[in-house]
Structure 1
Amino acid sequence: MSDEILFAEDVEEEIMECHGKWKVLIVDDEPEVHAVTKLALSDFVFQDKRLEFISAYSGKEAKQIFIDHKDIAVVLLDVVMETDDAGLQVANFVRNEAMNNFTRIILRTGQPGQAPERDVIINYDINDYKSKTELTAQKLFTVVIAALRSYRDITVIEENRIGLEKIISASADLFSIHSLEHFIEGIVQQLASLLGGSKDCAYLTSAVAGPKPIENPNASELFVFTGKGEYESREGERLENVLSGKQLLSCKTALANKSLVYEDEYLVAYCKSKSMRGSLLYMSGLPRKLTNVDKRLVEIFAQNVQIAFDNVLLNKDIEDTQREIIERIGQAMEDHFSEGKHILRLVKICELLARKIGLSEDDVKMLGLAVPMHDIGKFKIPEVILYKTDKLDASERKIIQNHAEFGYTLLKNSKRPLIKTAALIARDHHEYWNGQGYPRGKSGEDIHIFCRITALADTYDALRHKRNYKEAWSLEKVMETIHQQKGLQFDPTLVEVLQENIALVEKIVADNPDPE
């Protein structure tokens, strides 16, 4: 038998990788309490997260920390500090002033008689009450574990609530591009919550859509449509500029194989599309490995969210077609009446004024689509009168004024809201605030806001540019004339809004000059 001593090979202990930290606030005026608490919980790990300790030595200091940190999971709170009820005041501040219902409050006191447990539990929204003498290291470990589980569940429920709220708020007008962005954002947040609170995620697509249009000459390229966390401000950027290395390779793999790719810290889900190459959902910062249930949830999401996206793109295509037809009609009018880029400038100025007075984006869109047809009735005016350079006589002015009713008659019988709006603008954009306009002598707010905006924008642009009967006026002369007509021809509020935003209006004029 050999005398040689054999040693078993050392097995390296597996190092647990932690994802993030739980913030624990220690509030106590005794420094040794902080030291002992940190020592007792030094090796604490819950759901692959360690603890991050924050110390406060007075109630006042604790309140400021709660203002600065919105994500404190647990507070170990002493009662008696600078005053006998300083801790209770902190608890009251957290719940009733900071409106923080998520942080778990564990009251620790060395003098239970000064803050009887029954009274404290009834009168304050705290989650646990312990005497310092009974709180051994093991009991402290147990208390913190229970508190963190509660905090985790409450925050997940809150994230689900926020996601569901966004989905519900978007469902009424799901098929408008503006609300689609919020709808997808809500879905992503909901899914992230169900997976345990994913930190960063992005929805990438080759579609040219959204409130920030993506210039995409190559339909095979993917762009960020909407994002959360790290990708929240990356809308419109190419995939290659947002991700790199292994993450970028995973995205390309998921897109090429039309599959889902799972890694420890992130996932990429392919979203099938009938109308384009497809889209990707990228999520990083996963708090844990995904279960089979999680993966199935992601698959269901990926299959269904793209259907909604495709439907909205179809709706957008219809809307763009409608806009193009109307713009072409407006362009034909410009060419026929030799008005250069008057229609283009008019649309932009009207939209600007509408936004500045607080109209909804739907109203701004409707006005912008309808206003190109404001002078469509001029097609029925004899050219000899329309292009006359000399002063018109009374009968000729009457004929010119008839274009308002002509345009209204041409459009009024449509059942489409857009055409009905255009008919209203065509008829009433020559009405005056004081009732001295035509064709019906309307006044004040009886004139639709669309018509009041069009009247001001139309006059402004016409005066600023050359016509067959006049030269272009200077900005000073135009604004002097408009101010003289404030409360007479024009809505006084709109005149003020025009003056306040004159630099933006003049930029529209400068960016869209008439051809030489």
Structure 2
Amino acid sequence: MSNQFLFADEPAQQQELPQEFWKILIVDDEPEVHAVTKLALSDFSFLGRGLEFHSAYSGEEARELATAHPDAAIVLLDVVMETDDAGLHVARFIREELGNRFTRIILRTGQPGQAPERTVIVNYDINDYKSKTELTAQKLFTAVMSSLRSYRDIITIDHSRQGLEKVIASSTNLFALQSMEHFIDGLVQQLSWVIGGARQTLYAAAGRSPDSEQLIIKAAYGEESDMLINQRIQAALPKKVLPEVDKVIRSHGIHYGDDFVLAYCPSQCRPQGALLCLTGLSRPLMDSERELLQLFADNVQLAHDNVTCLQDTDELLAGLVARLMELEQEKVAQLPDKQSAFVQVSQALADAYGMSKARAQQTATAATLYERAESLFAVMDNQPATRVSPCQERLKRAVRPLHMADSDVAHIAYRALNERIERWDGLGLPAGKQGDSIAVESQVLVLANHFCRLQKEDISEADLLQRLEAERGRHFSPAVLDALVKNLKNLTKKARVS
């Protein structure tokens, strides 16, 4: 039996740019240094945000403060406090123990000889080194401004990296709806930071019914993003933005407000397209950013349209499967001897196990589907590990209409395909189901399939029984196996049908 996964699936904390203030940690054992620093930077503003100060007066307090505020943009760090190198230990603690590579560390010392600049820069991961005697208010302003710009750029790059990782991770799975939503979520995240750090970026699309006009949020990034998914777009936007929504939808264009942008994303397969909304922009967009936004609006909907078309196809196929199963069930009932060996063995084994006539008939009809699809899954069993995941996605895609069909028979077949490599002892895949948690129809179909394969090997009855008994309680249910053994002659006859 194969031990390959049939289905598989896949999140990480990230640093955020502040919404209101840039956090500055002041670490110095002299209270007047704290007061002077706050006074010198009292009117500081960068990207529309002021500064928020947090103070520590010793190395120990600094470690606690750095732990409590991993989102601090800058640490103004004194070297000599309770010991001559207390500040250096704090810098190492931030970088190595906290693993914080984002916060900018500006070392300030009143005794440069205690920690020579060259030695400190080489041996410690700090970003600037200043002597207190030369650090005027203007130079402090310059140092903080340049450090904040570096911090902003580092966080932006990290967000872009995470957004790209989402896109790349999803690009191998574009035909699955969940992955496509993840794909769009990654694009929204990346766009949010590439074009200027909006406080909130939303992507809303219309429902799939022909008369649906409500735009529902499918991807969100920024403030309260988790709470906004599946909400109406009008409920999430600021009041000043609402009057422009209908205008943008009617014109199929883009509206640039003071601190927000609304962009319509036209659809090729639905009367209603989607809407991209960026709010809380800290500055007007540059021409290059407007071009990027236009490109996004024109093209991202194509990806969503692809999924919509696939869903339409799935629904059509699901309807056909349901109707086909009705006809197939009639055929299996009227012409049982005309079915394949596997179908006949499945029905005989279901009868022998004690299923009701109707349930045994459904299981036999499901066998006609299982037989066709199982041969596809067998291809995956022979793939190297590096190719299993793409095979899984292809097969999941192929059998999805079975799950969507309004047919008990199709559901039996779909479930059996899911459980085809589960084991009675719980050591199977993909879910590690055990015992009766595996559907009895699945147990019948899997054992019938295994039995038919053994029959093709043209082995003796004693050898066949020995190999079946070896799997009792391991791969196969003892009760289903007993039903097979007790009806071995009848099942063997059916298994040899050409």
Tell me how far apart the structure 1 counterparts of residues 46 and 168 of structure 2 sit (CA, whole Å).
34
Question: What is the CA–CA distance in structure 2 between the aligned matches of 1:98 and 1:85, rounded to whole Å?
Answer: 19
Preserved CA contact (<8 Å) 1:274 1:310: yes
Structure 2 distance, partners of 1:431, 1:126, is: 54
Q: Which runs of 5+ in 1 are unaligned?
A: 1-17, 209-215, 339-374, 393-398, 435-443, 463-484, 492-516
Question: Residue in 2 aligned with 1:233?
Answer: 227
Which residue identity does 1:85 align to in structure 2? D
Q: Secondary structure at the match of 1:100?
A: coil
| 1:221 corresponds to | 214
Q: How far does residue 79 in structure 1 lie from its aligned partner after superposition?
A: 0.9
State the secondary structure of the residue aligned to 1:286.
coil
Change (3 A) 1:54 1:218: farther
> C-alpha separation between the residues in 2 aligned to 1:400 and 1:44?
74
Aligned to 1:260: 254
Q: CA deviation at 1:453?
A: 7.5
Q: Residues 39 and 281 of structure 1: is their aligned pair in 2 closer, same or farther, counting only changes over 3 Å?
A: same
- Provide Cα deviations, 1:441-468, integer angstroms capped at 9, x if missing partner: xxx97x8769977975433999xxxxxx
Among 281, 289, 292, the alignment partner of 1:286 is 281
Alpha carbons 1:24, 1:54 under 8 Å: kept? yes
> Which residue identity does 1:80 align to in structure 2?
V
User: Alpha-carbon deviation of 1:246?
Assistant: 2.0
For the 8 Å contact 1:201–1:284, the answer to whether it is kept is yes
**Larger RCO (CA within 8 A; separation ≥ 6):** 2
Which residue of the partner structure matches residue 439 of structure 2?
Answer: 458
Q: Secondary structure at the match of 1:289?
A: coil
Q: CA deviation at 1:241?
A: 2.7
Superposed CA RMSD in Å reads 4.5
Match of residue 451 from structure 2: none
TM score, norm. by length of structure 2: 0.67
In the alignment, which residue of structure 1 is the partner of 2:180? Answer: 180
Of 268, 271, 274, the residue aligned with 1:274 is 268
| 8 A contact 1:424–1:451 mirrored in 2 | no
Deviation at 1:76, TM superposition (A): 0.7
Number of aligned positions between the proteins: 392
Partner SS state of residue 232, structure 1: helix
Residue equivalent to 2:159? 159
Q: What is the alpha-carbon distance in structure 2 between the residues aligned to residue 452 and residue 248 of structure 1? A: 50
Cα gap change, 1:403/1:220 in structure 2, threshold over 3 Å: closer, same or farther? Answer: closer
| 1:250 counterpart residue number | 244
1:303-338 per-residue CA deviation (whole Å, 9 max, x = no partner) reads 010111111211222233334444555677899999
**1:377 and 2:377 matched:** no
Aligned-pair identity in percent equals 43
Q: Deviations 1:68-106 (Å, cap 9, x if unpaired)?
A: 223211111001122222111111111112111121111
State the one-letter code of the partner of 2:440. T
- For residues 378 and 95 of structure 1, the distance between their equivalents in structure 2, rounded to whole angstroms, comes to 68
Cα distance in 2, alignment partners of residues 114 and 147 from structure 1: 24
Q: How does 1:8-407 map to 2 (within 5 A)?
A: 20-208=20-208, 218-229=211-222, 230-243=224-237, 245-276=239-270, 277-328=272-323, 377=343
* Amino acid of the structure 2 residue aligned with 1:459: V
1:462-505 CA-to-partner distances (Å, cap 9, x unmatched) read 9xxxxxxxxxxxxxxxxxxxxxx9658449xxxxxxxxxxxxxx
Q: Cα offset for 1:33? A: 0.4
Partner deviation per Cα, 1:278-299 (whole Å, 9 max, x = no partner): 1101111212111222212111
- TM (norm. structure 1) is 0.65
Q: 1:162 Cα shift?
A: 1.4
Whether contact under 8 Å (2:74, 2:148) holds in the other structure is yes
Q: C-alpha displacement at 1:240, in angstroms?
A: 3.1
Contact 2:196–2:285 at 8 Å: present in 1 too? no
Q: Structure 2: how far apart are the matches of 1:102 and 1:430?
A: 46
Rounded Cα–Cα distance in structure 2 between residues aligned with 1:400 and 1:294: 59
Secondary structure in structure 1 of the residue aligned to 2:301:
helix
Deviation of the 1:126 alpha carbon = 0.6
Q: What secondary structure is seen at the aligned counterpart in 2 of 1:156? A: helix
Match of 1:498 in 2: none
Can you give the 5+ residue segments of structure 2 that lack an aligned partner in the other structure? 1-17, 334-340, 380-393, 403-412, 444-471, 479-498
Contact 1:378–1:407 at 8 Å: present in 2 too?
A: no
1: distance between equivalents of 2:79 and 2:313? 65
Residue by residue, what CA displacement relative to the aligned partner does 1:249-286 show, whole Å, maximum 9, x if unpaired? 22222111111111122111100111221110111121
- CA distance in 2: counterparts of 1:408 and 1:461, whole angstroms: 10
Query: Structure 1 residues 319 and 60 mapped into 2: Cα distance closer, same or farther (>3 Å)?
Result: farther
Q: 1:6: which partner in 2?
A: none
Moved more, 280-289 or 449-458: 449-458
- In structure 2, relative to structure 1, the CA distance for the partners of 1:377 and 1:44 (3 Å cut) is same
Structure-1 separation of matches of 2:328 and 2:436: 18
Post-superposition offset of 1:168 = 1.0
> 1:438-449, aligned counterparts within 5 Å?
none
Distance 1:376 1:419 in 2: 20
Contact conserved, 2:328 with 2:365, CA < 8 A, in 1?
Answer: no
Q: Is the Cα–Cα contact under 8 Å of residues 24 and 75 in structure 1 kept in the other structure?
A: yes
Q: 1:323 to 1:58 in 2, by over 3 A?
A: farther
Runs (4+) off by over 4 Å: 327-338, 378-382, 385-392, 399-426, 428-434, 447-456, 485-489
Q: Which amino acid aligns with 2:225?
A: Y
Residues 428-452 of structure 1 show CA distances to partners (whole Å, capped at 9, x for unaligned) of: 9799859xxxxxxxxx97x876997
Does the residue aligned with 2:139 lie in a helix, a strand or coil? helix
The question of whether the paired residues in 1 share the 8 Å contact of 2:216 and 2:231 is answered with yes
Partner SS for 2:228:
coil
**CA displacement at 1:413 relative to structure 2:** 6.7
